Amino acid sequence: MHVAIRYIICYCWCFTGFLSAMYAQDSTKRKRTVGSLAKEVYRNFLVTDNRSQDSTFFQKSEESFRPFTGKVIRRIVIRNLSFGENVNDTAHTIISALTRTADRLQTNTQDWVIRELLFIKKGQLVDPYLLADNERFLRDQNFIKDARIVIRRTSHEDSVDVLVRLRDVFSWGAEVKASGIKDFQLSVYDANFLGMAQRLELTALYDRTRNPVIGPQIRYRKTSLFGSFINVDAAYTTIDKGASLGFENERAYYLKLDRPLYTPNARFAGGLELSWNQSTNVYQKPPVQFSDYKYQLGDAWLGYNIGVYKQRKNSEDSRRRRFVSVRYFDQRFIQPPKLDSFDARYVDKRYVLGQFTWYKINFYRTNYIYGFGRTEDIPVGMMRKITIGPAKVDSLHRLYVGWEFDHWLVDKRNNYWNYTLALGTNLYKKEWQDNSAFLNFSWFSRLFDFPKFKMRQFANISYSAIYNHRVYEPLYINNEFGLDRFSTDSVRATQRISAGTETSLYTRWRLLGFRIGFFTFGRATLMTPAQTGVFRGGFFPAVGGGIRTRNENLIFGTVEARFTWFPRTLYDVNNITLTVHSNLRVRFTGSFVQAPWFALVR
């Protein structure tokens, strides 16, 4: 419900801005604007796109830059387009009262900010992979809808001009979460405040059962501080929105610094996170029911890219790299809670993990995987990781060793495949404990393009296990590798097998700018508790379907209304559920590597 309310607020906010922009004009012009705006709203209420308007593509990211390899970049021209223009074809322009008003309200990203997001420079030689990486990096920013880098020939054979075309999303947003008239949470934000790649967000929670009844939160984020590619994220929250560990409401301050490995030609990547947390008894629980605790989190990592490619004329980048990194994680309780039994969440933890990574990753440009037509970048290649280091949980000291292999590929029929294998173990007094295993296969079919709609098929199967279980959290059913929306954490196991498939249909309909799609799915999970065989656990199937919608011009993600039937449930989970929420699928991160951590298992 809160997602639908979020979009209603956004449109009310935008409409208020429309009125403000119109009233700034003289009365005669205002009448024309009101009339044209009304016509545009009517025309955009339900629109069916022509097939020619809806492109479908699948291509290597660097392919269009190859003919210019080795030429000198004479100059770089930046063009930030209006809402009515298309980055693929600027001749295709939509001019209307809506787009003109949106342009008046929106502060586009400043040209100097865009230049700070470029890692191609004037005077460099054209490197197809570097240009493709930069184009992808621009698209990866949440305040940019799409970006294209285009090379133009000049009168000199050995030099070219680079044109950077991009288009912002409408960065204003608002969100309401409400479960009734007694409590609601309101957030307002600008994801590109003053056009300077910074996010400012204010949140207030109103709840009559709280004391005080209003809980505030303020958050600030800056992308690429001073052109360093270091992202800064800072917040103060009283409503349990930080790096929370337990079930109590927490007040927290946190600071995050993050520098991704945004291209294989970058040398350093790293991050720092500091958090101060304290549980607060805002719901007036009796002392025996309230867990009173304070803790601090410190997390820092640094990595170096070995064998960075040095461009030579007429040479080819293999994209093969090696990366070494180290991470220090410290979770320390200043005041631990009083518990009747051991709980791994509420104990001191300290990890020092070193990791060696081999990777070779390239990207394809495509669409209609997670979005509704916007350009998407999917990885193709492989990554191998070896992780080792001491791990302390409470008073238990162990040596952790992990190995992970990821592979992404595209076959001759444009089907997209991904598989992951991750293994981990802990050595304690000549005994291997908490041995984890994870295997996942995923498949996206090629996009089938029909006159009235597009269709893509998805399927995956996964296996997770923890052997010789000691202090790890058990495997849960309520996540993307089990049965998402099976709303209970009480179904736990040491082995889990899941399989599922989904069919997605993308129509050519648009409702007030929101593209519309439908989906159906089927999934089943086998949960095997400890001391039982792999096929003697609980079997939980699910089938259902729903509708998805997204407006690519807004900062919000995909909205999904999902109907699910669980033939078998436990612990008061309803057999039939209807949920409305944002699509939680995770796209590939903007970094080629991540901070060292334990092998994947959930």
Q: Which residue has the higher pLDDT, 50 or 124?
A: 124
Say which residues have a Cβ less than 8 Å from residue 357's Cβ, sequence separation at least 6. 322, 323, 324, 325, 383, 384, 385, 386, 593
What confidence tier does 49 reach under pLDDT thresholds 50, 70, 90?
Answer: low
Whose tokens are 């600027």? That residue is 90
Q: What is the pLDDT of residue 584?
A: 44
Q: What is the pLDDT of residue 573?
A: 78
Query: Residue 570 gets which letter from DSSP?
Result: -
Q: What is the pLDDT of residue 408?
A: 94
Contact between 39 and 31 under an 8 Å Cβ cutoff? The reply is no
Q: What is the pLDDT of residue 352?
A: 97
pLDDT of residue 108 exceeding 90, the answer is no
Q: Which residue has the higher pLDDT, 531 or 384?
A: 384
Pairing of β 159-168 and β 72-80: parallel
pLDDT of residue 551 exceeding 90, the answer is no
pLDDT of residue 2 exceeding 70, the answer is no
pLDDT of residue 314 exceeding 70, the answer is no
What confidence tier does 48 reach under pLDDT thresholds 50, 70, 90?
Answer: low
- Tokens linked to 227: 């052109």
What's the mean pLDDT in 403-411?
93
What's the mean pLDDT in 15-27?
43
Return d(Cα 149, Cα 517) in angstroms, integer: 30
Residue-wise pLDDT for 416-466, tens only, equals 999 999 999 999 999 999 999 999 999 999 999 888 889 999 999 999 999
pLDDT of residue 525 exceeding 50, the answer is yes
pLDDT of residue 94 exceeding 60, the answer is no
Count CA atoms within 13 Å of residue 538 on its CB side: 17
pLDDT of residue 532 exceeding 70, the answer is no
What confidence tier does 77 reach under pLDDT thresholds 50, 70, 90?
Answer: very high
What's the mean pLDDT in 537-566?
85
Instruction: Name the percent of the chain lying above pLDDT 70.
Output: 81
Whose tokens are 């903007």? That residue is 590
Question: If we measure between CA atoms, which residue out of 265, 88, 227, 78 comes closest to residue 161?
Answer: 78
In whole angstroms, what separates CA 345 from the centre of its chain?
A: 25
Buried b (16+ CB within 10 A) or exposed e, 230-243: bbbbebbbbbbbbb
**SS3 label, residue 113:** helix
What's the mean pLDDT in 305-329?
76
Q: What is the pLDDT of residue 442?
A: 95
Return d(Cα 269, Cα 327) in angstroms, integer: 12
Q: Of 108-112, 201-205, 277-281, 510-514, which gets the smallest average pLDDT?
A: 510-514
Return d(Cα 436, Cα 269) in angstroms, integer: 28
Q: What is the pLDDT of residue 45?
A: 55
pLDDT of residue 188 exceeding 50, the answer is yes
Q: What is the pLDDT of residue 20?
A: 43
